């Protein structure tokens, strides 16, 4: 098998930068970048911008034109081999006459999964795999997980005081963190396919839960802007149509234990409102909800909720990444805790691994991954 050279890794790093431009717009598709190189010079490049629109390889081939013949294509994900909304990119590279394809990572989509590489090799094209594989996988971590497991990547965002509190006893929580941290959260929302919150948060804080590009400091073209699906976990159907979240544009899903007797009425011009009910038990089926969201093409989920729902996600072992913003303030012992998560024994503690620690304005952003995919219920 061919091995990537130093030059290959340099060009792939540039292709990964292109792929990252789709961070906020490609869902449910993966973020992909492509650069065509000939005689040591880039002759065409592209990045996938939006589902249903041309893939990165197509845009790069268009830019290169007839000059693509004999070129090397650097692609951050295995070229697709099937007909979807667009023709197979592997076929396009073959027809264009490229002589070599360097790819970062195999596409785990069962419709592709090595078939793209096979098509290229059968056409006599040299294929180099796994060039900067880890970096490419990280850009599409949610897509990779959904394709391999049938579940989306779940991030949980929490904000706390120095003494680990998230709100006053009354539920008042605005604002613990500063504007820079809130801007950072907006960017997390923007890259997410769906944002999950709970009925308590809607009733107490009355949030919009929308992406506000200006507040996030993002300059996303109007045709690429989108709102993530907003999901309200409301097992008892306590939220009503007066909540501000229903007046904001974008689709909403209400997840509960059972279907409602009286559905919430919403202006259809604002977006779709649908319901989902899992297995009939005393709690909303969070695992089932995530499977449902994955089936709908959602790669990355952001959980922004109060202590009760946040604790339920952690207890069930459903959180892939925990992001905690710690503010330099003290709320006192009567304030609400970070998580509602009773643990009575040290053996049942849930340990996390540090991934990143940085300052965001005056606040500290702590990013963690679970040390083990386990929970107190399974300990």
Using DSSP's 3-state secondary structure scheme, residue 147 falls into: helix
CA angle 275, 281, 286 (to 5 degrees): 55
| The dihedral sign for the CA sequence 54, 28, 182, 352 | negative
Is residue 56 a contact partner of residue 78, using CB atoms and an 8 Å limit? Answer: no
From the CA atom positions of the chain, what is the Rg in Å? 23
Burial tier of 295 (Cβ tally within 10 Å: 0-12, 13-18, 19+): exposed
Helix, strand, coil in percent for the chain, rounding step 5? 30, 20, 45
Q: For residues 185, 188, 190 and 195, what is the CA-based torsion angle, rounded to 10 degrees?
A: -90
Q: Using alpha carbons, select from 144, 95, 184, 211 the residue that is nearest to residue 366.
A: 184
For residue 312, the 8-state DSSP code is H
Length of the chain: 379
- Would you please indicate which residues are annotated as catalytic (active-site) residues? 57
């Amino acid at each position: 098998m061919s091995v990537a050279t130093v030059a290959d890794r340099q060009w792939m790093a540039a292709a990964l930068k292109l792929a990252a431009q789709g961070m906020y717009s490609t869902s449910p598709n993966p973020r992909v970048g492509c650069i065509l190189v000939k005689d040591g010079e880039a002759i065409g490049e592209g990045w996938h911008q939006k589902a249903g629109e041309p893939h990165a390889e197509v845009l790069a081939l268009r830019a290169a034109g007839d000059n693509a013949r004999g070129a090397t294509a650097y692609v951050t994900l295995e070229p697709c081999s099937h007909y979807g909304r667009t023709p197979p990119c592997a076929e396009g590279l073959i027809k264009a006459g490229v002589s070599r394809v360097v790819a970062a990572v195999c596409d785990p989509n069962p419709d592709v999964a090595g078939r793209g590489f096979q098509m290229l090799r059968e056409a006599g094209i040299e294929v180099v795999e796994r060039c900067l594989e880890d970096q490419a996988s990280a850009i599409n971590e949610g897509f990779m997980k959904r394709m391999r497991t049938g579940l989306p990547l779940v991030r949980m965002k929490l904000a706390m005081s120095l003494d680990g509190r998230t709100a006053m006893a009354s539920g008042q929580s605005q604002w613990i963190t500063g504007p820079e941290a809130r801007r950072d959260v907006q960017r997390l929302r923007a890259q997410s396919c769906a944002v999950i919150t709970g009925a308590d948060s809607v009733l107490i804080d009355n949030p919009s839960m929308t992406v506000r590009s200006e507040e996030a400091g993002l300059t996303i073209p109007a045709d690429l802007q989108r709102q993530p699906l907003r999901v309200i976990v409301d097992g008892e159907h306590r939220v009503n149509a007066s909540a501000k979240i229903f007046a904001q544009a974008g689709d909403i899903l209400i997840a509960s234990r059972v279907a409602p007797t009286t559905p919430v009425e919403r202006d259809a011009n604002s977006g779709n409102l649908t319901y989902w009910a899992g297995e009939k038990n005393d709690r909303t089926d969070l695992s089932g909800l995530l499977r449902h969201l994955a089936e709908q093409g959602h790669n990355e989920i952001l959980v922004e909720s109060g202590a009760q729902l946040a604790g339920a996600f952690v207890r069930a072992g459903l959180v892939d990444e925990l992001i905690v913003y710690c503010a330099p303030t003290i709320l006192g012992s009567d304030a609400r805790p970070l998580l509602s998560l009773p643990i009575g024994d040290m053996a049942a503690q849930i340990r996390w691994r540090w991934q990143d620690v940085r300052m965001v304005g005056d606040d500290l952003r702590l990013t963690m991954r679970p040390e083990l995919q386990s929970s107190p219920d399974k300990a």
